[in-house]
Amino acid sequence: MKKLLLILLCLPFIGFGQQISLKDLISISNMDSESFEIYSMNKSYKFGELLEDENIEGIRMDSYKNQITRYLTWFSKSFATKKTSGYQSDLQSELIGIYDELKSLNFSIAERRQEGKFYYKKYEKSDKKKTVEIFIKKSMFEIAYTEY
């Protein structure tokens, strides 16, 4: 009975835990395209879209599980940045782990504002060469890690 109770208590955390960490996003930004695709597929993502225009080049991978939609994006080119990766999910509880990680990795809040229907937050390292931008909307959130 105790084991059953423990399983029932822990199952929601296993099933709906944080899908990706900030350290994962930093690692993804350092990958080549093949490594990104392998990493994503190992986490049950499927090819979503090849992103190409005059300012960006990248790959978006998609995951649809338990009625939760997630996108993971790797960029080889994104405007004037060196490295960029992104994550989007409609499960806002995942932000709790991201906020804890931002503090532990010494990112500090540089800006916050309402931007249309989005709540925008920008975190920076002290040298301002690494940033994390978070866009929060009622039904989803997006995180972008960028290295300049």
pLDDT at 59 > cutoff 70: yes
Per-residue b or e along 95-122, where b marks 16 or more CB atoms closer than 10 Å to that residue's CB: beebeebbeeeebeeeeeeeeeebeebb
Domain count, the chain: 1
Q: Please report which confidence band the pLDDT of residue 16 belongs to, taking 50, 70 and 90 as the band edges.
A: very low
Domain that holds residue 116: 18-147
Residue 73, in any domain of the structure: yes
* The pLDDT value given to residue 50: 92
- Residue 114's contacts (CB-CB under 8 Å, 6 or more residues apart) are 120
- Which pLDDT does position 14 carry in this prediction? 37
Does residue 12 form part of some domain?
A: no
Residue 13 lies inside a defined structural domain of this protein: no
pLDDT of 144 over the 80 cut:
yes
pLDDT of residue 148: 87
Q: Is residue 10 situated within a structural domain?
A: no
Which residue(s) pair with 115 in the sheet? 118
